[in-house]
Structure 1
Amino acid sequence: MSIPEGVDRDSMMTQAQNIWTMLDEMSERDPQAYKKFIDKHMKEGKEYMKPPEPHMCVMSMTTSTKGRYFINFCSWNKVPEPKTPEDAIPVIGTPVLQDKDENGDFSYSGVAFSPKILEEFGIECKNSLDRNTLINLAIDYILHQNKTALSRSFSVLPSTTLSKGNLQVLMRAFQGKNKNADDEFDEHLSEMEKTFGLQGLGAKDSLLNKLANLSTEESVQDKNAPNIQLPGLGKEQTNKQNLIQEMNSSNSEQVCETKEPDYKMEEKFNGEDLEKLLLTIKLPGVNKVSECELDISEDDIDLTVEDRYHLNLSFPYLINDTKASAKFNKNNSSLIITLPVQT
């Protein structure tokens, strides 16, 4: 059995053996409690092994070919939640797949998050800015994972269309991410069942979730992937309704020191060739450009107005950052940034 990097094999095996021993003792001491335990964990194990479930679908386009691209957001129990608000959000993605419909050919892929992430920031999120943040982060992930640049102009398909593309192919692509690890893990559990003589038919399956969790959180997040985070994740809340009200209220600046400003990114062409991007950022209350801290690289921009605004945005194309320019319009408190595209 392969052990993910960072997980001590001996420690993992010791924990597994302790679980088997505990169950043997429980089966002799209290058969009824043993049966309840097994039934409970068999149910949990089956939930853990369920395939991803389509949650929402977003339509964008590839920046290179202008072809349609659908991002299938899926909820998957195998993807853990971030341990703290500062941690990157674990995500599993598929390769780029191809299909066609009545409008012609299109590309698609899947990104799977924990159910809790999609519950808070998915299709039913009341704050569209938070949902858009999740979508933009998925676009970042696709660029990193598949080297496919997507337009930041996108649309969320109606809830009647939760996925686009061949769903069976998409599910196989997800399962292929973990198939070898799952098969090895299942085989190893069978060997342990024989070795330790655990009683009860199906007891091996009942512990699949418990033992798998020893390695899942270490292996699911690509260490080289973008540091995907979302605002407000993990903060203690007394109830869901209050959280939604705070995010939508006019006094939301009291909840956090900075917020993401409204912005618009436009593509400017010279004939058929893309010449530059024009980024307009609205900064109500800002009176002069000296209040803005601006950092532009060839692939992203970071803007900070102390205690008021913060924007970090990845570009859909590589930018010639040495020729980028910015001007501040005092009349409408807007920062207009011209970003020449690399040729």
Structure 2
Amino acid sequence: MSFPENVDKDSMMKQAQNIWTMLDEMADNNPQAYRKFIDKHMKEGKEYMKPPEPHMCVMTMITSTKRRYFINFCSWNKIPEPKTPDDAIPVMGTPVLHDKDDNGDFTYSGVAFNPKILEEFGIDCKNSMDRNSLINLAIDYIFNQNKITLSRSFTILPSKSKSKGNLPVLQKAFQGLNKNADQEFDEHLSEMEKTFGLQGCGAKDSLLNKLAHMSTEDNEQDKNAPNIQLPGLGKEQPKKQNLIQEIDPSNQIHDAELKVPEYSLEEIHKEENLEKLVLTVKLPGVHKVSECELDISEDDIDLTVQDRYHLNLSFHYLINDSIASAKFNKSDSSLVINLPIQT
């Protein structure tokens, strides 16, 4: 794996040498424990080298063209998990890809997280707002990476449809992003194996995961870099806000200053026709409607509460913005917005 600029290469190599020495001593003094250790890490190494697996797929649209856009959330062992609730949440994203189905052309891309992140905040998350926060952060990430503005109105595909687009192409795109780093790291390991004479065929690969995580743990985040916040993490015990950290060659971290508030969007039908949309936004800490700045157009809505919240949604339907209305409920600090559909 490539060494980040702020990681001491000599220190990294010294740590690796210590592991080699420890294994040599174990092989001499306790061959059975040595073999058990190697077998365990061989198994972990194989898991680590697996391609990303689809976890869930979200459909939204590009606001400027109304073209369908699918976000493929993938689980990948190569993406490290945060060590504490205060640490950044690493993520890696693919370039934008294109495909077509029976409904026409569509655009898609992938975002990969550590499996434990998706177990907690993915498709089976008990709190839908936590899951929505992760999805909204993926939308922010795609904008920061590709300058594509996606609608905040989205649909999670059924669990049997975990991906959309060409999955092998998507997996190769992920592996292509990581190829140079893996090759360089493997070369370092090969050099150390020759130097220190690690016993046991294939032991070099068995330590890939452990050594790769060393470089991640030693890679201290730039304190001056902006961050993307993941609001509402962990309801069972108090936690500070997590951060989401992009895994890319430049190790850049982008920012989203304001929280995306919790919201729900309901379709109201009259007979068989869609009559209006009702958007309910939860705004804890807001006490009066004058704190809200609301802008409604025929195809989107923009809500800002200074220094607290920002919500921007685009709609699949045209809104009759001239007769749209909003009501603020002080009892639960919620804003209910009625959005009649153009006929």
TM-score bracket for this pair, using the shorter chain length: 0.7 to 0.9
- TM-score normalised over the length of structure 2: 0.73
Q: Name the structure 1 match of 2:202.
A: 202
Q: Take 1:5 and 1:149, find their aligned partners in 2: how far apart are those partners?
A: 32
Q: Does 1:79 align with 2:82?
A: no
Q: Take 1:34 and 1:134, find their aligned partners in 2: how far apart are those partners?
A: 41
Q: Name the structure 2 match of 1:170.
A: 170
Give the Å deviation of 1:328: 7.3
Q: Take 1:284 and 1:81, find their aligned partners in 2: how far apart are those partners?
A: 30
Q: How does 1:159-308 map to 2 (within 5 A)?
A: 159-217=159-217, 226-233=227-234, 260-262=261-263, 281=281, 288-289=288-289, 292=291, 303=305
Residue identity matched to 1:311:
Y
CA deviation string 1:183-230 (max 9, x = no partner): 111122112111111111111111111111112356799996751424
Give the Å deviation of 1:44: 1.1
Q: Name the structure 2 match of 1:3.
A: 3
Give the Å deviation of 1:66: 1.0
Q: Take 1:225 and 1:146, find their aligned partners in 2: how far apart are those partners?
A: 17
Q: Take 1:210 and 1:284, find their aligned partners in 2: how far apart are those partners?
A: 43
Gaps of 5+ in 1: 238-257, 266-277, 317-326, 338-343
Moved more, 219-228 or 149-158: 219-228
Question: In structure 1, the residue corresponding to 2:126 is in which secondary structure?
Answer: coil
Q: Take 1:331 and 1:75, find their aligned partners in 2: how far apart are those partners?
A: 40
Q: Name the structure 1 match of 2:311.
A: 313
Residue identity matched to 1:231:
G
Asked if the contact 2:133/2:260 (under 8 Å) is kept, the reply is no
Asked if the contact 2:260/2:310 (under 8 Å) is kept, the reply is no
Give the Å deviation of 1:232: 3.0
Asked if the contact 2:328/2:336 (under 8 Å) is kept, the reply is no
Give the Å deviation of 1:78: 1.3
Q: Take 1:98 and 1:29, find their aligned partners in 2: how far apart are those partners?
A: 57
Asked if the contact 1:90/1:220 (under 8 Å) is kept, the reply is no
Larger fraction in helix: 1
Q: Take 1:285 and 1:294, find their aligned partners in 2: how far apart are those partners?
A: 15
Distance verdict in 2 for CA 1:284–1:75, change over 3 Å? closer
Distance verdict in 2 for CA 1:334–1:190, change over 3 Å? closer
Asked if the contact 1:69/1:108 (under 8 Å) is kept, the reply is yes
Q: Take 1:82 and 1:53, find their aligned partners in 2: how far apart are those partners?
A: 20
Asked if the contact 2:93/2:109 (under 8 Å) is kept, the reply is yes
CA deviation string 1:144-200 (max 9, x = no partner): 011111111110000110000011110011011110010111122112111111111
Asked if the contact 2:129/2:262 (under 8 Å) is kept, the reply is no
- TM-score normalised over the length of structure 1: 0.73
Question: In structure 2, the residue corresponding to 1:100 is in which secondary structure?
Answer: strand
Asked if the contact 2:280/2:334 (under 8 Å) is kept, the reply is yes
Distance verdict in 2 for CA 1:191–1:10, change over 3 Å? same
Distance verdict in 2 for CA 1:217–1:113, change over 3 Å? farther
Question: In structure 1, the residue corresponding to 2:90 is in which secondary structure?
Answer: coil
Residue identity matched to 2:216:
T
